[in-house]
Amino acid sequence: MKNNVLADMYEFDNEIRKTHKVICGVDEAGRGPLAGDVYAAAVILDENVVIEGLNDSKKLSEKKREALYEEIIHKAKAYCVSIASVAEIEEINILQATMLAMKRAVEGLGVEVDCVLVDGNSCPDISCCAKTVIKGDAISASIAAASILAKVSRDRYMLKMARKYPQYCFEKHKGYPTKLHYERLEEYGISEIHRTSFLKKLKK
- Is the torsion defined by CA of 101, 106, 110, 43 positive or negative? positive
Contacts of 149 (CB under 8 A, 6+ apart): 41, 43, 69, 72, 73, 79, 81
Mean pLDDT of each 10-residue bin along the chain, 204 residues long: 78 96 97 97 94 84 94 97 98 97 97 96 92 95 97 98 98 97 96 94 57
pLDDT at 5: 79
In 3D space, the residue among 120, 121, 51, 59 whose CA is nearest the CA of residue 79 turns out to be 51
Start-end of H helices in 18-132: 62-75, 86-92, 94-107
pLDDT at 6: 87
User: Residue 164 and residue 181: Cα distance in Å, rounded?
Assistant: 16
Q: Where in the chain are the domains?
A: 4-157
pLDDT at 53: 87
pLDDT at 202: 66
The conformational region for residue 120 under phi > 0 = left, psi -120 to 50 = alpha, else beta, is left
pLDDT at 204: 44
Output the CATH code of domain 4-157: 3.30.420.10
